[in-house]
Every structure is written in C-alpha cells, then in structure tokens.
Chains A and B, each alone.
Chain A
Amino acid sequence: MNILTLIIGALVLGSIYSIVGMGYCVIYKSSGLMNLSQGQFVMVGAYLGGTFFTILRLPYLLSLALTIVSMFILGIVIQRVVIVNLLKRSSNYSFVIVCTSAISDLLMYGSMFIWGVNVFHFPSVFNMTFVKVLGVQVSPETLLLIGLSFISMIGLYLFLNKTKFGIAMKAEAMDGMAASSVGINVPAVRSIAWGISAAIAGVVGFAIGPVYGVFLTMGAVYTPKGYSSAIFGGYGNIYGALVGGMFFGFLETFVSAFVTASYKDVVTFAVLILMLTFRPNGLFNEPVIE
C-alpha cells in the first residue's frame, strides 16, 4: 500500500474540511452565530465557478476571481438581508441558527432551479492527466486544490493579522462594544466576515470541481465534516479548524484504507463525540462565547 498516495488523498479531504471549518469559525468569531449553510457555499461556489469556466469559457484565473467576488457578495447579502433583520427583531440566536439551515435548503434548491440536477463536469485545467510527485501519480487538479486551499488559509491568516480590517475583526470578536467605542464599524466588520467566509468556501468549491465534479448534494457532504473540524479544534479558533480539518481528512482516509470504507463516517463522528465529551472546548481550548 502506498502511504504517499494516502497522504495526498488525506491532504485533499483535509484541505476541504479545514476551509469549511475555518468559514464556520470566522462567522462565529465575528457574530457568535453558527452558519449551517457554510457547506452550501462550497456548492454554490463550485457551480458559479463552473459556469464562468465551462459555460462562459472565461480564463481560469478570471473565473476564480469572479467566483470569489460573487461569493463575497452573496455572503454579505445573506448577512445583511436575513441575519441582521432577524437579530433586529430580537430573534433568539438559536432561531437564527435554524434560519441558516433554511438558507442552506434555499441555496440547494435555488441551485437545482438554476443549474438543474445533472452532475456538472469541469474540463481538465491542465493539458495532462497525471503528474508524478515523489514517484506517486496524482492528478494536477488535486495539487491545485491543495495549493488553493493553503493559499486561502495563508491569505486569511495575513488578512486577520496584518491588515487594519483584520485586526478590527479580531477586536470586534473579543469585545464588540469596546470595538465600537474605539470607532470600529462593527456592522461592517460582521458583514465582511460573512463575505470572507463565503468567498473562501467558493474558492475551495471552485477547486473541487475538476477533482470530484459538482453536484447538488456536495454541500450536505461537507457541512457536517466542516463543523466537526471546527468543533474538534475549538469552535471559533481558525487554527483549530485547520488542525481539525486535517485530522479528519487523515482519519477518514486511513480508516478507509486499514479498517472500513463503508463506516468511516461512523468513526469520524464517534471521535467528535468523544472530543465533545472529554474536551468540549476543543483541541485548542477555545472558550465558548456566552
């Protein structure tokens, strides 16, 4: 059995779960909410990217840029139109979270309405089927997915730590009232957080397209794995989501190889339950927002 093949496969899954988990954390940190439609952002991003690249035949990088912009706008619109209005009407936070589940269904059925139910296939991005990496054959689109995911993670880190707006987001996450009192535009920060969360989900959706194809239920596949990753690392801790996502990517792949492929999800969620039972604040001991 080639361990390197398994490692590359695990990195692919881990990258996807990490990005989805990080999206959950960004929103949670900025607004204290759990967004159950995060996985569907991946699906919508994949369809949008596929439309730009495959149907409208735009260059790859332009398609990627348009996907990022479109998803960024989508995230902001959902936050401003739905979430803010619900909170203004003094809706309980748990009801708002339930509402994000409804948004998830709307996104899925909306995508069905726009793109139909057929699986959407991206053409090959490169003019080669496989490349060799350390003697192991791998598709270049797989490497692209891992690369884009890591670039997104690094981009998010730099944004949060090296830009004024990112630091403002961290300040707002620590104490919204204090942040507001020093002149930080808290509503704008929260909107941007939703936009960023949707944008990075769109990037990974766009990268997934050439590897696994685009289908309506892909969001439902990545949603539970994404929040499992976020919870495992410590809900709200972006680095925790990264570690959690990679952990579950490796766990799934190696369980499939050495134990069972049919019940790998059982193992994944059993580990999650154990983590919640014995270390509810996650690996990085992230305190829950009251």
Chain B
Amino acid sequence: MKKTVVTLLATLLALMLCAAAFAEFTQDPNDPYAVEYEADGEPIIIGNFAVLSGKSAANCVDYDRMLKATMKWINAHGGVNGRPVDFITYDSADSPEGAVKAVTRLIEDDDVKLILSDSQSADILAAMSVTEEAGIPMIGIGTGVSWTKCGGKYTFRSTTSGYTVYPSMIEALKMMGTKNCAFFYVENDLGQSANEWFNGENGALKAAGIEVTSISSYQKAENDFTGSLSAALADNPEAIVIINNGPNELGQFVKQARQQEFGGVIVTIENAANGQIPEVCGDLCTGLIFPSGGLVTTTLEAALTPKVREAEELYYNYFGEMCTGSAVLRSYDQAMVAAQALRTCGNVDDPDAIRDAILAIKGLTLAQGTYDFSAGDGDGLATCDIYMYNGTEKTVFDPDLCRKLLGME
C-alpha cells in the first residue's frame, strides 16, 4: 500500500514536471546549435568560449545563440570562400579561470587560429594573457575598458566600449543639466574600471562639473538595493549613474529606485537595451537613459538601419521571435568581423595573416556602426548613439521629452 502511494505520488510529480517542461519547450522548438554546411569544403574551425553556466549565464545565453545563428547564416550564404565555418565551444563558467582554461585548451589541444570570446570583460582580460602570448587573434564583445588600448596586438573588440559609452553617458547628463549624481557600480572588472574612469584621479564626472554625492558598489547578481539606495537618495542626487552587469539587476535597481520615489534620470550602460528591463519594471523604465551601438526594435519594419534589420531578420528566421536585447547585435557583428577577416586573410591557418586582415578592416558597416580597426589599438567602433525609455518603449534620447516625462519642467 505504502509503495503504491509513493509510486503514485512520484508519477504525479513527474507528470507535473513534464507539463512544466512541455510548457517551456513549445516556446523554443529550434536548435540553433546545429551548423549546416552548404559547401562541400573542409570546415574552418574557430575557437569560442561562452558563458554557459554561472551567475551571468542567464544574461549571456542570447549572445551564444546569436553567434551560432549568424555563422549558420554565413555558411548558408557561401561561408568563407566556399568553406563553412564551425566552432569548438567551451564553457568559461562565468569566471576568468574558466576562460583561461578554455582558451588554453583551444590553442594547445584544438590548435585553433582565431578565437571568439564571451561578453565578460574580466574573462577576456584573463584569456588575453594566453592568446597574446600564443599569437592567436581574439575578437571580444565585452565593453570594459581594461583590455583594449593597452598594447595588445592580437585582441580586438567588435562592439562599443567604455571609451565610447562612457563619454556618451556624460553627454546625456550634461544635456539634462545635471549638477550632481549618485554613482553605483558592480564589483567586477567592468564596474571597477568604470568607477576609475568616472571617479578616479582624472574622473570624467568631476571634469564635466558634475558633483558625485555618493559612490556605492554591489556584488554581481544582487537584487535587493533597499539599503544602498536609501543611503544614496538621502543626499538628494539629481541623477543616478549605474554601471551594472545584467538586465535583471538593472531592472530591480530601477524598480526599487522609483519605489523610493526617486524622480530623476538614471543613466546606465548599453545593456539597458535588453528587453528584460521593461518586463521587470514596466513603465518605471521612463527616464532610463543609455548609449548603445545599435538598438533592436519590436518589429522588423521599425528597424533603425538596414544592417540592424538584417540582424533582426536573421534572429527572427532562426528563433521565430524578435530579439529582445540589443546586445545580440554584438554577436552578429562578432561573427561578421570574423568571417570578413577569414575571407581576406589569404591563409586561414596563419594567425598573423588573420590578425593583419582584421587590422585592414575599414569602412565595414554592420549592426552597431562602421568598423575601423586600422588604429591598431583593438577597438573597431569610435561612436555610439544615446537612447532613452519612454514607458516600455525605447526611443532616441531627447532631453526636453525626458524632462517632460519625469515632470522635471
């Protein structure tokens, strides 16, 4: 009798879990990881490390999906000089140690000649020590300022960086007439390097004539900011600047800031473009300002540039839904830059040739802007636009509209 009861209970539980699984699986039937080959040629194998587990995995899954989908698209449209491109992917487990292990394995065991990184600047910085010594080009999509313009010869960035994003954030604050602000940053490489840039000895905020009323840091994946916000808002800052690691923590921050009746602008980095932000905080997003190299839209027809439309269409065709985060444009550009370099290098087995091909890229227009790597400092993009939320919709930043929406007139 007891055995029967336990068996029945276990069966019922299993059925409930299956129902939950079915409810989830019906939303995503496609497998973006199977790369199809159009040509008969021997595939070109490149290395890749991605955040597939760990605290940031939730934020990074779309990067990996978009990268693989873009390369699949490239292969379906002739590949690289008739040859398809395939990946060997290792999990960096959201840690610099994991990234180092991954690139070491890619270089020593798998003998790859080009590596595409994950989006975590700390991981890229750690991996760089291995790839620079081995002379293997690496194209990264993190935005931290620590790993370009630092003498690296084989490390490149296919997205905006703090060097373009941060000046735009200062510009937005100046356009709003901000006199003082509270500053928050996440405790990782991105946040610490940003804090140094904004508030260090030659801090950009002070140079712009903006007083910093308080500086607070928090741990990655934090979701309760009650105490730190309460302390910061006691100084009545006109604006808040936050350097965050992911959309869920940013969404929670915005929600809790508005809950504590903060009515000013919140200026942040480009991951505010992620579609999860409005899901977390709805109309409370109003007044959230962010720079971005490119912005995805809710419909293909509303795409801001032809290349953004191409990227959005690619995502839609492969996954059956519009992409919700502009950060996937990084992975699109990453794959395109890699493919362009492999096409023009002359010898895909020579990492120096691939590096020289990347350095020769100039005037290549992709989703986030027009790339020019000829300066040799690793960065390919020099500018980005500023956007803001009007309710749950993203729009080009307009300081007058922003003041009106926040009741600051």
Contacts and interface: CB of A to CB of B under 8 A. Distances in A.
Contacts of B58: 117-119, 215-216
Nearest to B20: A51
Nearest to A67: B16
A77 B9 contact: yes
A182 interface: no
B263 to A, nearest CB: 11
Interface in B187-220: 187, 216-219
A6 B259 contact: no
Contacts, number: 134
A157 interface: no
A235 to B, nearest CB: 25
Contacts of A216: 57-58
Chain A interface main SS type:
helix
Given A70-B16, A252-B227, A253-B227, 15 more contacts: A9-B230, A12-B224, A48-B20, A73-B13, A73-B16, A76-B9, A77-B9, A113-B21, A117-B57, A121-B279, A217-B55, A253-B226, A261-B216, A261-B217, A261-B218
A267 B189 CA distance: 23
B261 interface: yes
B17 interface: yes
Interface residues of B, number: 48
A139 B226 contact: no
A80 interface: yes
Given A13-B224, A51-B20, A77-B6, A213 B280 contact: yes
B284 interface: yes
A262 B259 contact: no
B61 interface: yes
A255 B20 CA distance: 39
A6 B226 contact: yes
B406 to A, nearest CB: 15
11 contacts: A1-B231, A77-B10, A77-B13, A81-B6, A115-B20, A212-B252, A256-B226, A256-B228, A257-B231, A262-B219, A264-B227
A194 interface: no
A90 interface: no
A113 to B, nearest CB: 8
A81 B228 CA distance: 44
Given A51-B20, A55-B24, A119-B276, A1 B6 contact: no
A23 B279 CA distance: 31
A47 B219 CA distance: 24
Contacts of A262: 187, 216-219
Contacts of B12: 73
B158 interface: no
A256 B221 CA distance: 16
Contact of B282 (A76, A124, A138, A261): A124
B32 to A, nearest CB: 13
Nearest to B279: A121
A2 interface: yes
Nearest to B235: A1
A286 to B, nearest CB: 29
A223 to B, nearest CB: 14
